Chain A
Amino acid sequence: MNIGTRKILDRSFTAVGIGSIVVMAVALMIVVVPIITNGIGAVFFTGTVEHRKMLFSEFKRGDSENLSSEVASSERYRAKVYGMLTGFEAELETMAPEKKAEYKTKYSEVRTALQALLGPLPGDQEPMLTRFKYGQTRWEKAEEKLHDLLYESKWDNSNPEVMAKEYFVSRAIGFEGTSLVKLFPYVKDNLDKMLLPEFTVYWGFITDSSVDSHFFGGIWPEIQGTFFLAIGAMLFAFPLGVVAAVYFTEYAKPGFLNSMLRSANSTLAGVPSIVFGMFGLAFFINTLKVSESKSVIAGALTLAIMILPTIIRAAEEAILAVPKTYREASLSLGSTKWNTIATVILPAALPGILTGGVISLGRAAGETAPIIFTAAVSVGSAIGLADVLSSPTPALSWNIYNLASEHEAAAQIRHVQYGMVLALVSIVLMLNLSAIVLRARISKKLKG
């Protein structure tokens, strides 16, 4: 090949390489940026006085004097709204029956929108569900609810050829000529005084339990559950995996059985995780009866089986990569095989073994399918260490799915979903990062 062609080939390969890296970087940004920006919104956001009320009564947090002065100030502005409502209710009574009926439905819609915005109105029954006890706790949500109050959503079905289109009609127009018409501009102009938005840092999102299935509060039970499951899985899988790897590399005689075991191990590493989930249910819960039903221990065992092949392979590779000369040196000093493994081979293989271990830990933390049938519940409080043998637990991976797809008000709690995603991604990244640091530190120690 002449030099010109060679150069062109080299250059074009470089270009293709750089191009693919750029594409990957862009794709990563597209995935990661919204996770981070939206996820951070779970902790840093513009919170309203309703948020502070909720924190005070649900978590006993916050300064009561400060809060009561805030509430008093917001109530002053709200009082006018309440006054308009009572005024209009009186006006309703004086109306002709058919007119009254027409206004009544519209009026009840207005009330509902106001309840969503500000919380229970005077004269309302004390709500049973916590989610109805407070108005909007987050300012951006309050603005959405304000829009719901000001405009009625309608669907344009006039053209059967195309899909129906949503359009908005001002509610104020519907109340033209009544006293209530003044309510809409008033609420619009004074919403900030009624809700007192201010920049809020809510670390409790990480450390609090959830209130009323994630309407309020934090995700600590999920974070804790994720740790319990992942660490529990490691407690089983890591020692077992290292022992198996030592057996395969040091003790097993090459032969049919050995190669069968090895290829079984490789195959197992590629089995879809849902299969492990089903297996965990069938084997650990139904057959072995490690617990009566879902439990942390059953989930941890299932995850352990799932990550075991990866750990074995990583440990095997690390052990095989230990220079033969170490083994020779140790044996020539009169060391037994077992001693050589324990004092020379395993320490030298440790960086590789640990890296495999931590990466598996990250996988155990992130997997959803294996715990669906064995350990995960959608709502629950943080469990104690003593309960891992019998209790199921919420966990980030499963609850992200659950909150985004099965929650009755999934759209209301997007910030919680994103917050959980960010928490999970951070945990997995942190674990991988610590694997890198650990590896670098041990390698440095070994290399001197």
Chain B
Amino acid sequence: MDARESSGSAPAQKATRDMYLPPERRKIADGGAAHISAKEFSVYYGEFEAVKRVSADILSKYVTAIIGPSGCGKSTFLRSINRMNDLIPSCHTTGALLFDGQDVYGKFTDEVLLRKKVGMVFQKPNPFPKSIFDNIAYGPRLHGVNDKKKLMEIVERSLKKAAIWDEVCDRLDKNALGLSGGQQQRLCVARTLAVEPEVLLLDEPTSALDPKATAKIEDLIQELRGSYTIMIVTHNMQQASRVSDSTMFFYEGLLVEHASTAQLFTNPKDPMTEDYITGRFS
């Protein structure tokens, strides 16, 4: 923690972004390099261009919020990063999307390995109809961890990271579908963390939750900030400003503005962004 807070050795670019943050949130030590970068990246559903020639750098270890009106391509962009769009037969892409400098849609990219590094939490909590333990252990087991003790360690660590350990530690063998919506969503975060990803994609993770559960998820994102590159799609502007370091504003498939959160919400460059964040359209 100390190392992270004393951010003296960090690159200059990072320092400028952290400048906007209150001191307790300045904990990004080695962030600031582009973890994911899009270059003229478009996503099509058949003929329809849902994401239009987007160019952007998603910085490592930062929380990046994606905002924009419904249907503007937020989910499409997010899901193209871990290639969940592959499930839709009509979907294809042009341009380049790089993850760690590797082309995500390259000929030799193994999407299974990619998804291991780029975890995702969905809008609706989607635990498996299995026990809490088996839910968390699902990923590690897939990737070859079978030792019971080691699995238990991973499960405990992941649940603690997702701030749900105290609530479920005495019923790990119970079915996960018995948890409340908010708990299920944190369980899904824990399940993703158990695979030890580098990137966490959250697609409106709180839109199906009540305010109390939402607050818990937001706290959780704060906790995870600085350890993972996080991208969160949200409808809620307050949420974006609360949890993120930088924000992308999408409108009808176009990336209108991408800036540090503080700047985008206090001093937007584009009039369309201003209209949106002041609620003139939504």
Contacts and interface: CB of A to CB of B under 8 A. Distances in A.
Interface string A332-357: 11111001000110011000000000
Chain A CB within 10 A, most for which of B116, B126, B188: B126
Given A334-B139, A334-B142, A335-B112, A447 B192 contact: no
B195 A334 contact: yes
Interface in A410-448: 445-448
Contacts of A339: 142
B142 A447 contact: no
B195 A446 contact: no
B87 A333 contact: no
A331 B139 CA distance: 10
Given A325-B124, A332-B84, A332-B192, A448 B115 contact: no
Contacts of B195: 333-334
Contacts of B130: 347
B177 interface: yes
The 9 closest A-B CB pairs, nearest first, are A448-B175, A334-B116, A325-B126, A446-B129, A448-B178, A448-B177, A332-B120, A333-B139, A334-B115
Contacts of B177: 446-448
Nearest to A443: B129
Size bin of chain A's contact surface: 20 to 34
Interface residues of B, number: 30
Given A325-B124, A333-B119, A333-B142, A448 B129 contact: yes
Given A326-B129, A332-B192, A334-B116, 19 more contacts: A325-B122, A325-B126, A327-B87, A328-B122, A333-B115, A333-B192, A334-B139, A334-B195, A335-B112, A335-B138, A335-B139, A343-B142, A344-B128, A348-B128, A348-B129, A445-B129, A445-B175, A448-B175, A448-B178
A46 interface: no
Given A334-B195, A348-B129, A329 B188 contact: yes
Contacts of B84: 328, 331-332
7 contacts: A328-B84, A328-B126, A329-B127, A330-B128, A330-B138, A332-B120, A335-B138
Interface of A: 323, 325-336, 339, 343-344, 347-348, 445-448
B113 interface: yes
A159 B178 CA distance: 82
B82 interface: yes
Interface in B127-147: 127-130, 138-139, 142-143
Contacts of B139: 333-335
B191 interface: yes
A243 to B, nearest CB: 22
A327 B126 CA distance: 10
